[in-house]
Structure formats: structure tokens, C-alpha cells
Amino acid sequence: MAELPPLRTVIARHGLSASKALGQNFLLDEQLLSRIAAIPGELRDQAVLEIGPGPGGLTRALLRAGARVTAIEADPRCLPALAELDAAFPGALRVVAGDALRVDHDALMGGPYAVVANLPYNVGTALFTRWLGGDAWPPRWTSLTLMFQQEVAERIVAAPGTPAYGRLAVLAQWRSQPRLALRVHRSAFTPPPKVMSAIVHVVPTPAPAGVSAATLERVTAAAFGQRRKMLRQSLREIPGALEALDQLGIDPQRRAETLAVADFVAIAGRLGSASAPADAPP
């Protein structure tokens, strides 16, 4: 196995002072990085898409696990450090310089792939909704292993009836299974962020038949947009929604947070794709 310099040395040698604008909080503890790389399961000879490798701490853990890694990095300062990793693991690392939000991941990877990323909050959430949205299912990715602010991770795995339950939970749970895999203390990062973090692991499951992702998103946006209101009020702007509640035997006096994910799926299934606006977000 390749001997690599400590990550602190790599950071110092390449002058990688953390950029706030790029949300850079680096993980330097190699034991922790190995634990994170183990979350997706056996990676030997598996294609992995890593977003935001930075100085390459998680990247080296993935390479040591035997993965074939494609890494997209927005900060050109990190490229020389990543080139050293490329030299240490010949043929196993491909680095793509650029903004991961502007890259077609499926086209880049060409086949099935696992996603692993420790990303800034805004980029992570934007990519998460993109990976989980759209009508093409199953997706080309086989799992997502993603670091989030702990509060966002809790919203992703939240159960009905809890304060964290909302749009993100329904998006993440209606045709995939998310679990909170690891809590990561803020002190594990350099520099430490203000908030705690957690890693969510998501695997796709079969999609319910006849349900449009855009319609489901429209229903959950309306229902949770006014989460203190009864469904008969929050869903009244969606044509056919109140009739759907009636047909499904869902009391219109209930509030969104009391409905199971399956209830939202059933409502969207009744509405078909007709009530999805053309410009619905994924």
C-alpha cells in the first residue's frame, strides 16, 4: 500500500489554506476517513464518484479501499495534491476540475457508481435534490454517502410526527432508504465549522408505479409550505387534491406532518402527472 505524507503536510506543502467561499472544512483524521470510506460497503474495483476531494483525505481512504475514483474538485489549488495521489495509485484516480453542479455525472461515469462526498452545505443539498429527483428510476448511482449538517441529516431520515419531518424526508424516502450512518463532531474538521455534521447513506429502492416525482414534489411543497394548516387549506390550490384525500380516506383536517410518506405517494398517484407544473423543481 502506498505510503503517503500526513494530510497536514500535504496542506502545508500546497498552501491549501481553507477557503470560506468554497466551504472548505477538511477532515485530516485518517482513521475517521477510513470509517467513512467503509460506509458504502465493499468498494474493491467499484466506481466511485467523489465530489469535493480537496486535499484528498477521503480520496486516499477510498483508493486504499480499492475503489476506482473519479473526483470533481472546484478549487484548482487542490489539483497538485490530487496529482500526487494519482501517482501513488496509478490508474485508479481520475480528477475532473470544475463545478460538480455543472457536470453530467451519469455521462462522466458511464456505468453504475457509488457517490461519496463531504461537501459544503448549499452544494450538498442542491446535488442531493438532483440525485433524488426526476422521473428516471432506478438511478445510475448505487448509493449516496454524504456529509451534511447534522440538522439536515436528521431532516432526511425523519419519521412522520417529528419536527424534522418535511419535504426532504419525503423526497429521500419515497423510493430510497436513507440512514444516518455516522455523526461527526465539529472538532474533526480543520477549521471546525459552527455546527455538528452527520453522514447519511442512501440506497435506491423500487419506485412506486404511476407516481410522478414532480407531482409528489408539488404536493409536499404545498403541504409543508403551510405545515401548521390543515390539508384542506394547504392543498386546496392543487386541482384534484381534496378529491384525492376523500378517495383515499385521509381526513382533510389532518396536518402534513401526520401523513406517512406512503400517504403522500398515494395522493400524488391519484393526481397523475397532470397537476405537475412544467417548471417543477426536481
Residues making contact with ligand SAM (CB under 6 A): 22-27, 51-54, 57-58, 72-75, 78, 99-101, 118-120, 123
Minimum gap (Å) between residue 116 Cβ and ligand SAM:
9
Residue closer to ligand SAM (CB basis): 28 or 260 = 28
CA-nearest of 206, 204, 134 to 172 is: 204
Nearer to ligand SAM, 124 or 166 (CB): 124
Q: How far is the CB of 53 from ligand SAM (least distance, A)?
A: 5
Backbone φ, ψ for residue 278 (5° rounding): -60, -30
Residue nearest to ligand SAM (CB): 52
CA atoms within 13 A on the CB side of 44: 0
Nearer to ligand SAM, 123 or 157 (CB): 123
Determine contact, residues 53/73, Cβ cutoff 8 Å.
yes
Smallest distance from ligand SAM to CB 214, Å: 25
> Looking up cell 474495483, which residue turns up?
45
Q: Which is nearer to ligand SAM, 54 or 166 (CB)?
A: 54
Kindly state the smallest distance separating residue 36's Cβ from ligand SAM, in Å: 8
Residue bearing cell 432506478: 138
The nearest distance, CB 21 to ligand SAM, in angstroms, is: 9
Cis peptide before 138 (omega within 30 of 0): yes
| Smaller CB separation from ligand SAM, 77 or 255 | 77
Least Cβ distance, residue 107 to ligand SAM (angstroms) = 16
Q: How many CA within 13 A on the CB side of residue 124?
A: 25
The residue among 52 and 166 lying less far from ligand SAM, judged by its C-beta, is 52
Q: Which residue shows C-alpha cell 505524507? A: 5
Q: How far is the CB of 178 from ligand SAM (least distance, A)?
A: 20
C-alpha cell at 200: 447519511
What cell does 250 get?
Answer: 385521509
Query: 144 forms bridges with which residues in the sheet?
Result: 115, 202
Cβ 197 to ligand SAM shortest distance, Å: 9
Long-range residue pairs from 68-73, CB within 8 A, at least 24 positions apart, any chain? 68/92, 69/93, 69/94, 70/94, 70/95, 70/96, 70/108, 70/109, 70/113, 71/95, 71/96, 72/96, 72/97, 72/98, 72/99, 72/100, 72/103, 72/108, 73/97, 73/98
Q: Kindly tell me which of 25 and 275 has the beta carbon lying closer to ligand SAM.
A: 25
Q: Which of 23, 204 has the CB closer to ligand SAM? A: 23
CA dihedral 21, 171, 197, 117 (to 10 degrees): -60
